[in-house]
Amino acid sequence: MNANADHLRLPVARFAGALALSLLVVACTAAGATNLPGASPSPDASGPPAPSGFYLRAWRSQALAPQYVFGWLPAATIADGKFYDGMIATPAIYPGPIYTALSFRPISSKGIDQIVAEARTDGLLGTKTDFAEQPMPGSITCHVQLIVDAVTHDLTGQCASAVAQDSVAPGSSGAFLAFWNRLTSLSAWLGTELGSSTVYAPSSLAVLVAPPAEAQGGIAPNEQPWPLTTPFASFGSPTGSADFRCAVVSGADLAQLLPAVEAGNQLTRFVDSQAVKRSLQVRVLLPGEPGPC
């Protein structure tokens, strides 16, 4: 390895909270879950256009019903010379926002070369693609898709490992985990190769329509008109169960929807033309990312 030992021991603490919550949820939901998430190497036609040249996407999956993982952004995306950091902090307020804007930073060709060189050193660009050990039931799986010299590498491993982090032989689960830790700390790893941050104007939003929010903690839900002409009953398609519907919104509909969700919060109920009330989960779709619906 060409990184120092301290860096290889980067903890996966950034995932500890999400892992604990997910393991709690899986006990209640996994038995009846349908349409489970997993590796999705091909971009959805309804999402952002496929990037050209070098491409990287690092994301997590878990065997939970779709509504529980809908908001999981890719941990890192690099497309068309731009780095999108999905490791954003959740506002410590309630009710929190429906929509969280993302930003990107340009990445230099030298920075991209360093990522490719590290992947080669770690033995991740050969014929082996599965670097998982024996995962525990309900554990989170990490995925990395790399497109290098027009060759796609779809890699899978664990987000945490019992393997000692001073044992990272090329092609091992430890090497995959060390590479994952670098990708999820890219600003620290390649800081000088990243430019200034710019707010990302999304071309597509994934929208999950859910049962209407109930009052919590003495806070009553607020109501807003649903800004789209399509009523909830025919919006998108059922996802996970009949109570949830999902669609990718772009173009003129996105221009109508985005201001409404920016003004809403987790307790907002949207009311359509048929007086049906629903709440929303909304997230950005990044370049090359398949739609979750």
Give percent above pLDDT 70 in the chain: 78
Kindly report, residue by residue over 212-248, the tens digit of the pLDDT: 988 887 888 999 999 999 999 999 999 877 789 999 9
Q: Are 135 and 157 within 8 A, CB to CB?
A: no
Report how far residue 97's alpha carbon sits from residue 90's, in angstroms, rounded to the nearest whole number: 9
Q: In sequence order, what are the beta bridge partners of 143?
A: 59, 156
Give me the phi and psi of 84, to 5 degrees please.
Answer: -110, 120
Q: How far, CA to CA in Å, does 96 sit from each of 168, 169, 230, 279?
A: 40, 43, 26, 13
Q: Is residue 289 part of a domain?
A: no
Report how far residue 222's alpha carbon sits from residue 71's, in angstroms, rounded to the nearest whole number: 22
Clarify whether residues 114 and 14 are in a common domain: yes
Give me the phi and psi of 257, to 5 degrees please.
Answer: -80, -40
Clarify whether residues 178 and 208 are in a common domain: no
> What integer pLDDT is reported at residue 3 of this predicted model?
42
pLDDT at 63 over 50: yes
Q: Is residue 291 part of a domain?
A: no
Clarify whether residues 23 and 132 are in a common domain: yes
Containing domain of residue 63, as a range?
Answer: 5-198
Model's pTM, two decimal places? 0.79
The rounded radius of gyration (Å) of the Cα atoms in the chain is 20
Q: Please give the tally of structural domains in the chain.
A: 2
Clarify whether residues 89 and 168 are in a common domain: yes
Report how far residue 218's alpha carbon sits from residue 161's, in angstroms, rounded to the nearest whole number: 42
Kindly report, residue by residue over 258-286, the tens digit of the pLDDT: 999 999 999 999 999 999 999 999 999 99
pLDDT at 187 over 50: yes
Clarify whether residues 95 and 188 are in a common domain: yes
Q: Is residue 293 part of a domain?
A: no
Clarify whether residues 174 and 36 are in a common domain: yes
- Asked which of 169, 198, 227 is the last residue of a domain, the reply is 198
Q: Is residue 290 part of a domain?
A: no
